[in-house]
A and B are shown apart, each in its own frame.
Chain A
Amino acid sequence: MSIFVNKDTKVVYQGLTGSQGRYYGMLNRDYGTNVVAGTNPRKAGTDVEGVPVFANCTEAVAATGANASCIFIPAPGVFAAVMDAAEAGIEFVACITEGVPAHDEARFFNMLKRDYPGVRLLGPNCPGIITPGECNIGITAGHIAKPGGPVGIVSRSGTLTYQALYELQQKDIGVTTCVGIGGDPVPGTSFIDCLEAFEADPDTKAVMMIGEIGGSAEEEAAAFIKHHMSKPVSSYIAGVTAPPGKKMGHAGAIVSGGKGTAEAKMEALRDAGARVGLNPTEAGELMAEIVAGL
């Protein structure tokens, strides 16, 4: 079992004809992902190494039955790409693109919520999602993930997602699904969405959560863990010793209150019963202890 994507997921790559889209689209296909279509309004009717290209997602879905999309469109076109996927009835949209304006993210997040509540958006600015051995959507290196479980991973940072997968692989621990939610201001999928799904997934027995300084998503996740999760969690928060970033003026300081520092996040997680490592290796070791005790 897994969360969000599996061996039956059929993926359309929005921007398959671009250099990034083609490179990762083909890598994902080599991994075993059902890469069924690409989109590009100017190249409809052509193909990329045998994968048919359509003008938009609606046509791609009609022809191929795609139920997920992966966006590699440059930032200025991401708003339209997200809405294109939603209008086509796609249920899972992973947006890899970085550099999307925050106001666009805030708008399409809330438009999806209002008009297409059944759509799950992952990202933008994320590495994607991998259910090892079944489906890899995005830019995660598939071979660093050991299939099978019992651990689910959710992470806000790209390279630390890989580091987490690698730490577990070194210890011969398998992963059900690894979700990179991305570090942008308005992530389509939150820690809590993933924790909730992992809690409901019978094959996931424990969860590794990688957070970062800034915002209050980790504190909110900690509250969820405390009240709604029966499965054990190990965690790491990057930026323990980072200097305070650019202050978002007085208004930003009020929104975040005392939240946002690594200390506050780690304390909230410990209070929720999670085991917190001071670096990724330690978090991996803690997870190994948890798995040994399952």
Chain B
Amino acid sequence: MKKKNTVSLFLGVCILLCSLSLTVGVRTLFHACVHDDGAFGACHWAQQAIFGAGIVLSVLSLVRLLFPGNGVKLGLDLGIIVNALLAALTPGILIHLCMMDTMVCNALMRPIVCAIAAVIAILALIDTIILGKSAKEGKSA
């Protein structure tokens, strides 16, 4: 049981770090296209939506780390999975990006956002399975 809690704690820290890197990174390292004339295109709004989803993910993963109850953690994990999927679907599917595949939003922002969001969703899913098993074991005990 203790081992499972340690794994869950480790997963929680990883999810928080990934969420923070998504939130900060989408505005800094892998941002949308920058325009000389200051105009905003569709990819800018995709970036803003991902930034919003990143903040929600960061808050959820922080709360998940701070709250002790496994039931609460399980619920928050499910919320994290849904939000991570939302972040992954935002660039290119929910909000269109620029016309050329070689532009920064298509070549850099989209793949990195999808990769981080997929990692968050997978980690949260693993945590959900671990917490679900712990809850079953607790009931049977």
The answer to whether A and B assemble together is: no
